[in-house]
A = this chain, B = another copy of it.
Amino acid sequence: MARLMNFNAGPAALPLAALERAQAELLELGASGMSVMEHSHRGKEYEAVHNEAISLVKSLLQVPDDYDILLQQGGASTQFAVVAMNLLHIGAQAHYILTGAWGEKAFGEAKHAAGLLGGTATVALTTGVGDGKEKSYTRVPKADEVQVADNAAYVHLTSNETINGVQFGITEASDFPRTAAPLVADMSSDFMWRPFDISQFGVIYAGAQKNIGPSGLAVVIVKKDLVAHARKDIPKIFQYRIHAENNSLYNTPPTFGVYMMRNVLSWLKDSGGLYEAETRNRKKAAKVYAAIDAAGGFYKCPVDVDSRSVMNIVFRLPTEELENTFVAEAKKAGMVGLKGHRSVGGIRASTYNAVEPIWVDALAGFMADFAKANG
């Protein structure tokens, strides 16, 4: 059938050009006599792909030289634990800023890790109600709300909450907090759609399955001094130091995932890089938010204007029944992945890099028609 308009939250739409390249090369990478999946991770053919992928991350994001770029197995859910295992020294304290469901999960895993490691993990600030239990996160904190100990091991935040549609750095009012302690950001759904200043962060990690590739791969960008001081008494496979020393080839990396990331980032570079991507993405999101706001209250976005995510746009309709009809009729019109996360309900449209502007136009048109017919 025709290619669907895919608004999945992740795994998500990938650029058609990156998929077509993978299809063309699937049986043979270059003139190498075998598939990329069949190459040794120690051979020069795979190594070229691996290094190109890392170098694309470095050049697209302008990663400074005092940061290591690591390619890791698994996704952000693994990093929730691993980042604490690396940075939470005995007696140290980590602070978690919670602005949604993923921050809660990261905090939960850090508490588990802290129990084994002899440190502590505490909530620095939550913008939800009742310690987030009601899951009513609607904004990121203001700069003066974030007060954490200067000597904390690190301060963790989730820069875009995929489920709640709350994102840092959308306007000046939602800018990232400045903290003396290293800032650690789960950027899974906030990675590689816009340029930003890496030097604000101690650690950035991102599961690939939003903007940069298939699931099963995470990119970790970590300041070299944090790597140097990270714990050495945890299993080697979890030590950032080991992966940094071995150019992420200590163990077998997920080679096909890295290859796909290469294809995706190569497409991103060819399509103008991150400045162009940000312009395209902001226009796409603005169209959907405009469709929400233009419907006279039929659609309601719970998120404060300054924190409204450019990647995941969440909104409600007057009733759950109407929401189900909305999803079903959108599907008939070729638009899928619009159901909100099962934990919060409602509608969610994810508008990652690979989501075509014409898909977004179609969605905005559909929203207007649906509101008119059902409002």
List chain A positions with a Cβ less than 8 A from chain B: 1-4, 6, 8-14, 16, 19-20, 22-23, 26-28, 31-35, 37-42, 46, 73-75, 77-78, 80-81, 108-109, 112-113, 115-117, 207, 209, 214-217, 233-238, 250-257, 260, 334, 336-337, 342
Q: Quick one: given A34-B3, A116-B116, are A109 and B235 in contact (CB under 8 Å)?
A: yes
Report the separation of the CA atoms of residues A216 and B257 in the bound assembly, to the nearest whole angstrom: 8
Report the separation of the CA atoms of residues A207 and B253 in the bound assembly, to the nearest whole angstrom: 11
Q: Collect the chain B residues with CB atoms within 8 Å of residue A251's CB.
A: 74-75, 77-78
Q: Are B260 and A40 in contact (CB under 8 A)?
A: no
Q: Are A216 and B40 in contact (CB under 8 A)?
A: no
Q: Collect the chain B residues with CB atoms within 8 Å of residue A77's CB.
A: 237, 250-252
Q: A148 to chain B: closest CB distance in Å?
A: 22
Q: A12 to chain B: closest CB distance in Å?
A: 7
Closest Cβ neighbor of A2 among chain B residues: B33
Number of copies of this chain in the oligomer? 2
Q: Collect the chain B residues with CB atoms within 8 Å of residue A217's CB.
A: 216, 254
Q: Quick one: given A75-B251, A117-B116, are A6 and B216 in contact (CB under 8 Å)?
A: no
Q: Collect the chain B residues with CB atoms within 8 Å of residue A19's CB.
A: 26-27, 35, 37
Q: Are A75 and B75 in contact (CB under 8 A)?
A: no
Residue among A207, A235, A255 facing the most chain B CB atoms (10 A cut-off) = A235
Closest Cβ neighbor of A40 among chain B residues: B8
Residue among A2, A115, A252, A253 facing the most chain B CB atoms (10 A cut-off) = A252
Q: Quick one: given A27-B19, A238-B81, A251-B77, are A38 and B257 in contact (CB under 8 Å)?
A: no
